A and B are shown apart, each in its own frame.
Chain A
Amino acid sequence: MQRHLILEDGTTFVGEGFGAPATTFGEIVFQTAMTGYQESITNPIYDGQMIVFAMPVVGADGIHAEAYESVKPTIRGMVVHDLAEISTNRQRRMSLDRFLKQNNIPGLCQVDTRQLIRHLRESGPQKATIVDYVDDHARDQLAATVLTKQQVQNTATPKAYANPGRGYHIVVIDFGLKHGILRMLGDYDSNVSVLPYTTSVEEVLTLDPDGIVLSSGPGDPNSLPESVFTLIRVLQTKAPMLGIGLGHELFAMANGATLNPLVAEYHGMNHPIQEIISQEIFYAMQGRGYVVDDQTVDRKKMFVTHRDLVDQSIQGLRHRDYPAFSVQFFPDGAPGPIEPNVIFADFFETVADYVEQYN
């Protein structure tokens, strides 16, 4: 049935509803990647957001058991141009439409998504709603909606759990972890403990980690409690540390930097990222609404290790005194290039060195 998208600035788009027939509210962002819609919509970083896909045909590959980035998707909606129908089989267990219905997520298709994206790239982030009718009620509802700042709480694990292996013991501080990170840690057969971000320093140290990962996650990094920064400041002196996405932003903040919100969030995999030390360029999936403010990085404390060559944004940081480093992009891919997987190789080499030196 015909449904509508209303933006906070009053712009409306008409389309055909799919997925769940519910009314939905969320912050609307666009992404330009041409593959990996399943990985994207299940990535917890989109908690509370609606995604507009630039890729005009979405769904042609169905939903696969091995392409989940979280068990339960928490995006608020999906706007696409053309939704593909598929048959399900052993590889494709489910169609995208059915998947969204099961998870109570509304979708809107047959939208001029190129026009919408061109609009969003200028207008900046805003609230949006998918509704059956455009009327004053719908507009009022949208205006009255206060979007949650509790995304990390919504997606991060409340209880510690293990993903056992026989290798190094890696503690993951969960801010809204995506599976790709666990998959990569699994590739090194590491013994993983995933801990809530509210875990105390003592509890973490009791586990005697060989390495620490600050996971990616959704939302505004400023909304997290001070205890998180204390935790990072202590842990970075105790064992090698890798921050990813939100984990990178928190690592920067723990070491004195501040963050700036972006005019338009960037979600895509087409920007070149340069590793400054080697001048090498690679591409990686990015999903960011904030960027570390260059001016506030204390050069006596940290190196800038990576930059996005399109907007010059900081994409990687490293502590001068400790084996602690972080990247803004997704080194695990899923979706996205697997070239930056080597970040994990670097991390494990560092862990090996650390274990060698101190144990």
Chain B
Amino acid sequence: MANKVVLDSASLQRALTRITYEILERNKGGQGLVLVGIKTRGEYLAHRIANRLEQLEKETIPVMAIDVTNYRDDVLAHGDHLGLDEKDSINIVDKNIVLVDDVLFTGRTIRAALDALIHIGRPKSISLAVLVDRGHRELPIRADFVGKNIPTAQNEKIQVSVEEIDGKDAVEIIH
């Protein structure tokens, strides 16, 4: 059966635009903002949001990437497993961090990212922006900025594609 497109390219763009405005609204501007994208697609989305912020605020917003693909609950030792190192700590201390991911599901990825961030430095605040919230949380984690809420069945799969690596922008449900 064919995939069902839940966000096409234009709606995906507009969702990112709305998230950007909401970030500015909540943060009272771009001061002290750092975007941290969760690899792989979250990083591209973080850059897109940063580009939007720049168009509006005419200032550059730093973007970092974090990789939790190798993350396991039992082995969390050093931040550098997650693609961060000591020098990144300067970038997050006393900053308002916005974590950016494509899909919010169980919450375990976010938790790993939070652990890693806190491990290397002490940000002023951390908030979470996701393109899609599909429900089925296993941890008490809530997104501050949501592109689209998409209620799903546990066995369904959400596929986010971004132009930069997938050649198109779309969010699809795969049955």
Asked if A11 is at the interface of the complex by the 8 Å CB criterion, the answer is no
Question: Is there an interface contact between A278 and B25, defined as CB atoms closer than 8 Å?
Answer: no
| Across-interface contacts of A356 in B (CB, < 8 A) | 149
CB contacts between A and B, total, < 8 Å: 49
* Cβ B52 vs Cβ A278 within 8 A: yes
Contact indicator per residue, chain A 341-355, by CB within 8 Å of chain B (1) or not (0): 010011001101100
Closest Cβ–Cβ distance, residue A131 to chain B (whole Å): 51
Bound complex: CA A254 to CA B29 (Å): 21
Q: Is B28 an interface residue (CB 8 A)?
A: yes
- A277/B22 contact (C-beta < 8 A), A320-B28, A346-B14 known: no
B108 contacts A by Cβ under 8 Å: no
In the complex, A136 has a CB within 8 A of chain B: no
Please name all residues of chain B whose beta carbon is closer than 8 Å to the beta carbon of A345 when the two chains form the complex: 11, 14
A342 contacts B25, C-beta separation under 8 Å: no
Could you say which of B13, B18, B55 contacts A276, with CB atoms under 8 Å apart? B55
Q: Contact: B28 with A346, CB < 8 Å?
A: no
Pairwise interchain contact A277-B10, C-beta atoms closer than 8 A: no
* A: number of interface residues (CB 8 Å): 23
Q: Does A342 contact B52, Cβ atoms closer than 8 Å?
A: no
Indicate whether B6 reaches chain A with its CB closer than 8 angstroms: no
Nearest-neighbor residue (CB-CB) of B10 within chain A: A342
A349 to B149, CA, bound (A): 10
**CB-nearest residue of chain B to A323:** B25
Which residues of B sit under 8 angstroms from A349, Cβ to Cβ? 14-15, 18, 148
Which of A279, A318, A342, A352 lies in contact with B21, CB distance below 8 A?
A318
Q: Answer whether A277 and B25 are a contact pair too, CB < 8 Å, given A342-B14, A346-B14, A350-B18.
A: no
Indicate if A322 sits at the interface (CB-CB under 8 A). Answer: yes
Query: Residues of A contacting B29 with CB < 8 Å?
Result: 320
Chain A nearest Cβ from B5, distance in angstroms: 16
Residue in B10, B25, B52 whose beta carbon sits within 8 Å of that of A321 in the complex:
B25
Determine whether B24 belongs to the interface, using a CB cutoff of 8 Å to chain A: yes
CA–CA, A279 and B28, complex, Å:
23
Instruction: Report if A277-B20 is in contact (Cβ < 8 Å); known contacts: A321-B28, A345-B14, A346-B14.
Output: yes
Which residues of B sit under 8 angstroms from A321, Cβ to Cβ? 25, 28
Structural contact, A277 and B28, CB atoms closer than 8 A? no
Residues of B in contact (CB 8 Å), total 20
**Do A278 and B17 touch across chains, with their CB atoms under 8 A apart?**
yes
Q: Which B residues are CB-close (under 8 A) to A13?
A: none
> CA A274 – CA B97 in complex, angstroms?
29
A342 contacts which chain B residues (CB < 8 A)?
10, 14
- What are the residues of chain A within 8 A of B22 when measuring CB–CB? 323, 353
- State whether A279 touches B55 (Cβ < 8 A): yes
Q: Give the Cβ gap from A64 to chain B, nearest Cβ, in Å.
A: 30
Chain B residues contacting A353 (CB-CB under 8 Å) are 18, 22, 146
* B56–A276 touching, CB < 8 Å: yes
- Contact between B146 and A277 (Cβ–Cβ < 8 Å)? no
Once the chains are docked, how many angstroms separate the CA of A280 from the CA of B17?
Answer: 11
List, in ascending order, chain B residues with CB within 8 A of A319's CB. 25
**In the bound complex, CA of A242 to CA of B42 (Å):** 30
Interface residues of B in 120-175 (CB under 8 A from A): 146, 148-149
| CB < 8 Å neighbour of A346 from B18, B25, B56, B148 | B18
Is there a chain B Cβ closer than 8 Å to A303's Cβ? yes
Determine the chain B residues whose CB is within 8 A of the CB of A318 once the complex forms. Answer: 21
16 contacts between A and B (CB under 8 A): A276-B55, A277-B17, A277-B52, A278-B52, A303-B21, A303-B24, A318-B21, A320-B25, A320-B28, A321-B25, A323-B21, A323-B22, A323-B25, A345-B11, A350-B18, A353-B18
Give the B-binding residues of A (Cβ under 8 A). 275-280, 303, 305, 318-323, 325, 342, 345-346, 349-350, 352-353, 356
Instruction: Taking A276-B56, A277-B21, A320-B29 as given, write out 14 further A-B residue pairs in contact, using a Cβ cutoff of 8 Å, ordered by the A residue number.
Output: A275-B17, A276-B55, A277-B55, A280-B13, A303-B24, A303-B56, A318-B21, A320-B25, A321-B25, A323-B22, A342-B14, A346-B17, A349-B148, A356-B149
Which are the 10 A-B pairs with shortest beta-carbon distances? A277-B52, A277-B55, A277-B17, A276-B55, A303-B56, A277-B56, A278-B17, A349-B18, A278-B13, A346-B18
